[in-house]
Amino acid sequence: MGKKASDIITGAIREAIKENGLARILLATGASQLSTYNELIEEDIEWGKVEMFHLDEYIGLPMTHGASFRKYLRGRFVDLVHPKKANFVSGEGDVAENIRILTEELRKAPIDVALIGLGENGHIGFNDPPADFETDESYIRVMLDEKCKLQQVGEAWFSSIEEVPNETITMTVREIMKSRKIISIVPYQVKTAAVRDTLNAEIGPMIPASILRTHEDWTLLLDEESASLL
């Protein structure tokens, strides 16, 4: 699955560089994405022509913390391939100013390819249900629901639910959907209900990932476990 996702991302990056001289990518984090990064860092890509954005980050969590998504991306991607620019979401310091600067950078050009995971509660980014499908903002502050927090503990990013921050910054649903190409790699038994509902439930804020069905270029990669309820 990781190799397949990496192949798609690599093709999109090369095509964007050929057309525009630059590729812009949007990256998710979490346990489901590890195999993709292991493959992607081995690809022959002109990384000096790639700009990276990422989806979300906890508010108040330092980058030195093991659960920080900035730490995740630095250790597994940025410090290994050295892209032209890495635009991180920061939940430290002046959060409103951080969002303003990030939004300004993001809106300079479209995202060519986005790696977007699905949460156990059907979220994309940290847009937990009921997600905001209407805001035109690029990034917003959101509160995490209990199921989302339990997923973070279940994946061993935190030792208890009390340690999980209550609030995060996330890219909005509308902004995610502006990406030219979206790839979702969704393994594991714990994702079966989310996968079933994403593909079969009514499209709406209670199953945020259901909106991906309306995207013109979305690829969903499953394993036998995550697809077992289909």
Taking the chain (230 residues) in consecutive chunks of 10 residues, what is each chunk's mean pLDDT?
Answer: 96 98 96 94 98 96 94 96 97 96 96 96 95 97 91 90 94 98 96 97 97 98 97
In a domain, 230, yes or no: no
Number of other CB atoms surrounding residue 158 within 10 Å: 19
pLDDT of residue 31: 87
In a domain, 36, yes or no: yes
- In one letter, which amino acid is 25? I
In a domain, 164, yes or no: yes
In a domain, 144, yes or no: yes
Provide the number of structural domains found in the chain. Answer: 1
Distance in angstroms between the alpha carbons of the first and the last residue of the chain? 18
Q: Residue 127: which domain range?
A: 2-222
Q: Is 33 helix (H, G, I), strand (E, B) or coil?
A: helix
pLDDT of residue 147: 87
In a domain, 152, yes or no: yes
In a domain, 227, yes or no: no
Q: Is 7 helix (H, G, I), strand (E, B) or coil?
A: helix
In a domain, 74, yes or no: yes
Domain with residue 172: its CATH number is 3.40.50.1360
CA distance 152 to 106: 27
In a domain, 198, yes or no: yes
pLDDT of residue 30: 87
